[in-house]
C-alpha cells in the first residue's frame, strides 16, 4: 500500500547495449534513489510520494534487476557502475541529491565522487562504508555468505533453488510483505539465468578486503567522503549493529566526514524503505531544506 495517492510513472532510458527502467514522480531539484540487492526501485514506492511535492524523484532499477534490461554480463560491480553512469548521462541530471542503501549506497558515493560538480548531497543507510569482517556476522549469517561465495554451492542456493531472495525479504523486512509485494520482487528473477546479478552481488561484498576490486571502490569512497567539504552528507541509522549502523562505523563517520549529519530513525530491517518510508522521507526532506554546510 502506498502512503500517498501519487504513484510514480515508469520509463526507460537507453544505456549502453541495453536499457535502464526508472520510476519518476514530482518536479523540482532532482533526488535519485538507488536500491540494493535483491530488490528494485519498487522498494522506494512509499518514499517518493512524500518528497515529490518539492523534488523530481527518480529511482532506477540497476541493470539486470527490476524492469531494467538483462544483457549478457558478468554483473560485477564495475558493470553496474557503467550502466548506471550511462543512465545518469542519458538523464543529464545536475545539482543531484543521491539516496542509496545497501549496494545503492556504494554506487551513490562512487558516482558522486566522480561527478562532484553535479552533486548537491548524498544520503546513505544500511550500506558499506568500510571493509566488512567475518566476525561482524552472526554465525548463521557467516555460514550463509561463506556458502554463497563458494563455487557451485552459491549457484545451487541462488540460481537453482532461488533460496536467497525469499530469505533476504524475510529477514530484511520487519513488518512483513504482502503477496503482491513479494510477487513484484520475484518477477525479475523467473529462472536461473535471470538470478545471476543477485548471486554476483553477494560475492562482491568486501569481506576481509576481498574482492580487491570492490574493496578499492569502498576505500576510494571513504577517502572522497573525508575530503568532500562542499558536499553535504546524511547518514541514517537504524537499530542494530550491522553495516553502517555499527557503532564503530558511526564513530568513524563522525570523526572523518565533514558536513555530516547523522539521524537515528529507530527500528527497521535491512530493506528499511519497506519498514520506515515516512521516517526516511521526512529525514531527507528536512535535511535538504536545512543542510549542514
For the annotated catalytic residues, the residue numbers are 102, 126, 270
> At 68, phi and psi to the nearest 5?
-75, 165
User: 111: Cβ–Cβ under 8 A, 6 or more apart, which residues?
Assistant: 81, 84, 85, 88, 98
The H or E element spanning position 111 is helix 103-114
Q: What is the edge-to-edge ordering of all strands in the sheet holding 119-127?
A: 9-15, 18-25, 55-60, 29-34, 96-102, 119-127, 232-237, 260-264
In our burial notation (b when 16+ CB lie closer than 10 A, e otherwise), range 17-52 reads ebbbbbbbbbeeebbbbbbbbbbbbbbbbbbbbbbb
Helices (H) and strands (E) in the chain, counts: 11, 8
Q: What CA–CA distance (Å, rounded) separates 273 from 78? A: 25
Are 210 and 219 spatial neighbours (Cβ–Cβ below 8 Å)?
A: no
What CA–CA distance (Å, rounded) separates 57 from 29? 8
Amino acid at each position: 500500500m502506498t502512503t500517498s495517492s501519487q504513484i510514480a510513472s515508469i520509463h526507460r532510458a537507453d544505456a549502453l547495449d541495453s536499457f535502464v527502467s526508472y520510476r519518476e514522480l514530482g518536479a523540482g531539484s532532482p533526488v535519485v534513489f538507488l536500491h540494493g540487492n535483491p530488490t528494485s526501485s519498487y522498494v522506494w514506492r512509499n518514499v517518493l510520494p512524500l518528497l515529490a511535492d518539492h523534488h523530481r524523484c527518480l529511482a532506477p532499477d540497476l541493470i539486470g534487476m527490476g524492469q531494467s534490461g538483462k544483457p549478457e554480463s558478468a554483473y560485477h560491480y564495475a558493470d553496474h557502475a557503467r550502466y548506471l553512469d550511462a543512465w545518469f548521462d542519458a538523464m543529464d541530471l545536475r545539482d543531484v541529491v543521491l539516496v542509496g542503501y545497501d549496494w545503492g549506497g556504494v554506487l551513490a558515493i562512487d558516482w558522486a565522487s566522480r561527478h562532484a560538480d553535479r552533486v548537491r548531497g548524498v544520503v546513505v543507510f544500511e550500506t558499506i562504508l568500510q571493509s566488512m569482517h567475518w566476525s561482524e556476522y552472526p554465525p548463521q549469517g557467516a555460514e550463509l555468505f561463506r556458502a554463497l561465495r563458494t563455487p557451485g554451492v552459491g549457484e545451487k542456493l541462488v540460481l537453482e533453488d532461488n533460496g536467497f531472495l525469499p530469505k533476504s525479504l524475510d529477514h530484511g523486512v520487519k513488518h512483513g510483505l504482502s503477496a503482491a509485494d513479494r510477487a513484484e520482487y520475484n518477477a525479475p528473477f523467473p529462472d536461473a539465468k535471470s538470478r545471476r546479478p543477485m548471486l554476483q552481488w553477494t560475492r562482491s561484498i568486501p569481506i576481509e578486503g576481498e574482492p580487491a576490486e570492490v574493496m578499492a571502490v569502498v576505500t576510494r569512497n571513504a577517502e572522497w567522503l573525508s575530503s568532500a567539504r562542499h558536499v553535504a552528507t546524511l547518514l541514517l541509522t537504524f537499530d542494530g549493529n550491522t553495516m553502517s549502523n555499527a557503532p564503530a562505523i558511526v564513530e568513524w563517520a563522525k570523526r572523518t566526514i565533514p558536513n555530516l549529519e547523522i539521524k537515528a530513525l529507530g527500528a527497521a530491517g535491512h530493506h528499511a524503505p519497506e519498514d520506515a518510508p515516512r521516517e526516511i522521507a521526512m529525514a531527507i526532506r528536512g535535511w535538504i531544506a536545512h543542510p549542514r554546510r
